[in-house]
Amino acid sequence: MLKLPRPVTLFWGAALVAALALPAGEGASAAAGPLHVLASTTLLASLASDVARGRADVSSLMPVGASPETYQPAPADIVRAHGAGLIIENGAGLEAWLAPMLRSASTHAPIVNCSDGLTVTEANPHLWLDPEYARHYVTAMRDGMIAADPAGAAIYRANAAALDGRLVALTARIRKALATIPPANRNMIVFHNAWLYYNRRFGLRTLGAIEEVPGSEPSAEHIARLIDAARAAHVRAIFAEPEYNANLVNAVARSAGIPNVAMLYDDSVGTSPQTRDYISMLDTDTATIVHALQ
Ligand SMILES: [Zn+2]
């Protein structure tokens, strides 16, 4: 992943657009052919693919396993954004890098901000992990696709309605599975604070996160406080993530006497065979949580 400051990315963008003789201010939306939808993350692309099925093509700007909070766009991303007819973002502060990149790409493609209209708590952008909020995302995606490609309206409506039904069923499945966890065990220590909305929806408690600020090392004081809190609440499990080094998680588990270390998937789909899309990711995560907190 490229680690360069944003002004350099902007320079690249202008240089690339000039070098490739891309017409400034014209996205592919004006061109003939299918609608090209570009989603910022693999999770949004997963939901958008279901809405677009049989009509538009969808790709994810970020690769599988990349962390959206700390992503640095590559030059190729600017070219892809330039060719998109519709851009889908999470919003709520997740993709701070996206707006400067889109300016570099000279795109005027419409943007769907999926979290628009939802209430953001503690500046936390992970609203998609609440499947009830994901239904709101799907509606926003559907309406964005219909506006960008009115001729496909019937397909987008039918696809979105089918996906909405699957999300309603997912919510019910999660609720039923989590009800088997003894109430005193419903405390989680997570790697980064992605689980606020999921936990609020389903009555779990986030006792703390190892990483306070995405991409920065936690302080020794913060880790010490977390260990004290975990001991006091007899926390059953601590959750690592595939994108991050598990050494720190294992060290906290040992110090706090936490018996279970398990892996959760939250910012990216596709990092394991059982988390290939949004719904399978949340089913997998729910089964992991249920098992770890018994
Ligand atoms: Zn995250």
What pLDDT does residue 98 have?
A: 96
What pLDDT does residue 46 have?
A: 98
| Mean per-residue pLDDT, 120-126 | 97
| Mean per-residue pLDDT, 161-187 | 98
127 C-alpha to center of ligand 1: Å? 10
| Mean per-residue pLDDT, 60-78 | 94
What pLDDT does residue 32 have?
A: 57
21 C-alpha to center of ligand 1: Å? 36
Residue in the block written with tokens 């966890």: 181
Using CA atoms of 104, 105, 109, 113 in order, give the dihedral in degrees to the nearest 10: -50
82 C-alpha to center of ligand 1: Å? 26
Instruction: Read off φ and ψ for residue 58, nearest 5 degrees.
Output: -130, 135
In this prediction the pTM is: 0.89
**Does 242 score more than 90 pLDDT?**
no
197 C-alpha to center of ligand 1: Å? 12
Dump pLDDT digits (tens) for 177-227.
999 999 999 999 999 999 999 999 999 999 999 998 888 889 999 999 999
- Residue 101 CA to residue 68 CA, distance in Å, equals 14
193 C-alpha to center of ligand 1: Å? 7
**Domains detected in the chain:** 6-173 (3.40.50.1980), 181-292 (3.40.50.1980)
135 C-alpha to center of ligand 1: Å? 19
What pLDDT does residue 9 have?
A: 38
**Does 52 score more than 70 pLDDT?**
yes
**Does 30 score more than 60 pLDDT?**
no
28 C-alpha to center of ligand 1: Å? 30
**Does 1 score more than 70 pLDDT?**
no
Rg of the chain taking only CA atoms, in angstroms: 20
**Does 5 score more than 60 pLDDT?**
no
Helical axes 153-178 vs 278-292, angle rounded to 10°: 0
**Does 17 score more than 50 pLDDT?**
no
Task: Look over the chain and give the mean of its residue pLDDT values, rounded to a whole number.
Answer: 90
